[in-house]
Structure 1
C-alpha cells in the first residue's frame, strides 16, 4: 500500500486540480465535506483524532477551498461529476482502495461514489445525510424549532435555499443561520469559528445537484460495510427522512445516533463521535 506524506497534495483530475490535506498514519480514509462552499476546514481539528489509526485525507471538492474550478462548473447538475472526481483523486494519489467518510452533502456524494466505484472502497461512513432530498417541508418544520429568532428562521426558509449572487451574499446568509445547526449555539464563537471566504458558485452547484438527488432506488445495492450516523437535533436531515431511512435502505448497514447534537455531532459530541467511528473502522 502506498504511504502518503502528511501535508498538502494537489492532483490533476482532468483540466483542474483537487486539493487534499493529509494527516496521520495507517490505512487511508478519505473525508468528504458537505456544504458546499467552504472546503474541508470545518472538519478540523475535530476529525484529526482519526489520524491516530488512519491516514486521513481531507479533500476540497471541485470549486471549494484550495481546489480548482472546472471550466464547465456552472453546468454541473448531477452528483456523478463529483463522485467521479473522487475516483480520479484516488488514481492520482496512487491508492488501490480506501475507506470513505462523507458528512451532510458529502454523505450524499460518497453514496454515489460507492455505487459507481464499489471496488475502490473498503468501508463507508455516511454522516448526517440522506439518499434523496425530498423532505424540505419536514426540514423547515424542525428548523423553526431550532431557530433562535424569527429572522433566523426566515433566512433559513428563504435565502438559504436560493442561488447566491455573490460570495459576500453567501458569507452573509450562512453567518445568519449558522447557530441553528448546533443544539448548543454557544459552540459557535466559543469552540467553533464562523468560516469566511466561501464560494457562491460551489453552493449554487449544491442546489443544482439536490434538484437531481434521488439515490433512494439504488443505494440498496451498496454492499461495502457501511456505518450510518444520525443526530437527533439535526434539522437539515431529520432522522426519519435522513439517517434512519438511509440505514433502512442499505441492508446490513450499522447505525449510530447522537442524542444531543445538531448537524455537527463530531463537534458537539466529539469524544463519542471519534470513539464510534474509529472503533467501527477498526472492527474486522
Structure 2
C-alpha cells in the first residue's frame, strides 16, 4: 500500500491544481468538505483524530480554499465535474483506491463520485447530507426553530440560498446565520472560529449544481459499503428527508444519528463521531479481510 507523505501539496489534475493536506497513517481516507466557499479548513482539528488509524487526505474542491479555479468554472453546473476532479486526484496521487468521506454538500459530491467511479472506493461515508435537494420547506420549518432571532431566520430564509455578488457579501451572510447551525451556539467563537475569506464564486457554483441535484434514481446502484450519518438538530438536511432517507435508498448501508448536534456533529459530539467512524471503518476492513481468506 502506498503511504502518502504527511503535509500540504498542490496536485495537477489536468488543467488546474487541487490543494490537499495529508495527515496520519494507514489506509487512505479522502475527506471532502461541504459549502462550498471555504475549503477543507472547517474540518480541522476535529477530524484529525481519524488520522490515528487512517491517512486523511483533506482536499479543497475546485475553486475553494487554496485550489485553483478552473477557467470555465462559472459554467459548471453538474456534480460530475466535481466527482471527476476527485477521480483525477486519486490517480495523480498514485493511490490505487481509498475510502471517501463527505460532509454536507460534500456528502452529495461523494455519492456522485461513488456512482461514477465505483472502482476507486473501498468504502463511503455520507455525513449530514442528502441524495436529492427537494426539502426546502422542511428545512425552513426547522431553521425557524434553530434560529436565535427573527432577524437571523429572515437572513436564512431570504439571503442564504441565493447567489452572492461578492466574497464580502458571502462572508457577511455567513456571519449572520452561522450560530443557527449549532445545537449549542456557544461552540461558535469559543471552539469554532467564524469563517472568513470565502469564495462567492464557489458558493454560487453550489447553487447551480443543486439545480441538478437528484441522485435518488441512481443511488440504489451503489454496491460499496456505506455509512450514513445524520444529526437530529440539523435544519439544513433534516434527518427525515436527508440522512434517514439516503440510508433507506442505499441497500445494506449502516446508519448512525447524533442526538445533540446541529449540522456539525464532528464538532459538537466529537468523541462519539470519531468513535463511530473509526469503528465502522475498522469493521469494514475486517470484513474485506474475511472475504479475501
Question: Which band: TM-score by shorter chain?
Answer: over 0.9
CA distance in 1, matches of 2:279, 2:195: 30
User: How far does residue 3 in structure 1 lie from its aligned partner after superposition?
Assistant: 1.2
Aligned 1:1-284 pairs, distance under 5 A: 1-283=1-283, 284=286
User: Over residues 83-142 of structure 1, what are the superposed CA-to-partner deviations in whole Å (9 max), with x where a residue is unaligned?
Assistant: 000000000000000000000000000000000000110000000000000000110000
User: How far does residue 262 in structure 1 lie from its aligned partner after superposition?
Assistant: 0.1
CA distance in 1, matches of 2:161, 2:64: 18
Moved more, 211-220 or 8-17: 8-17
Runs of 4+ in 1 over 6 A off after TM superposition: none
User: Over residues 16-39 of structure 1, what are the superposed CA-to-partner deviations in whole Å (9 max), with x where a residue is unaligned?
Assistant: 100100000000000000000000
CA distance in 2, matches of 1:14, 1:98: 20
Structure 1 residues without counterparts, runs of 5 or longer:
none
User: Partner of 2:217: helix, strand, or coil?
Assistant: coil
CA distance in 1, matches of 2:161, 2:113: 25
**Aligned-residue CA RMSD in angstroms?**
0.4
User: How far does residue 149 in structure 1 lie from its aligned partner after superposition?
Assistant: 0.5
CA distance in 2, matches of 1:3, 1:184: 38
User: How far does residue 13 in structure 1 lie from its aligned partner after superposition?
Assistant: 1.2
State the aligned residue count: 284
CA distance in 2, matches of 1:234, 1:279: 23
What's the TM-score once normalised by structure 2's chain length? 0.97
User: Over residues 60-102 of structure 1, what are the superposed CA-to-partner deviations in whole Å (9 max), with x where a residue is unaligned?
Assistant: 0000000000000000001000000000000000000000000
User: How far does residue 55 in structure 1 lie from its aligned partner after superposition?
Assistant: 0.2
CA distance in 1, matches of 2:6, 2:14: 24
CA distance in 1, matches of 2:94, 2:153: 46
User: Partner of 1:129: helix, strand, or coil?
Assistant: coil
Moved more, 101-110 or 10-19: 10-19
CA distance in 1, matches of 2:275, 2:254: 15
User: How far does residue 242 in structure 1 lie from its aligned partner after superposition?
Assistant: 0.2
Aligned to 2:290: none
CA distance in 2, matches of 1:181, 1:233: 9
User: Over residues 222-250 of structure 1, what are the superposed CA-to-partner deviations in whole Å (9 max), with x where a residue is unaligned?
Assistant: 01000000000000000111000000000
CA distance in 1, matches of 2:195, 2:282: 32
Structure 2 residues without counterparts, runs of 5 or longer:
287-293
CA distance in 2, matches of 1:114, 1:164: 30
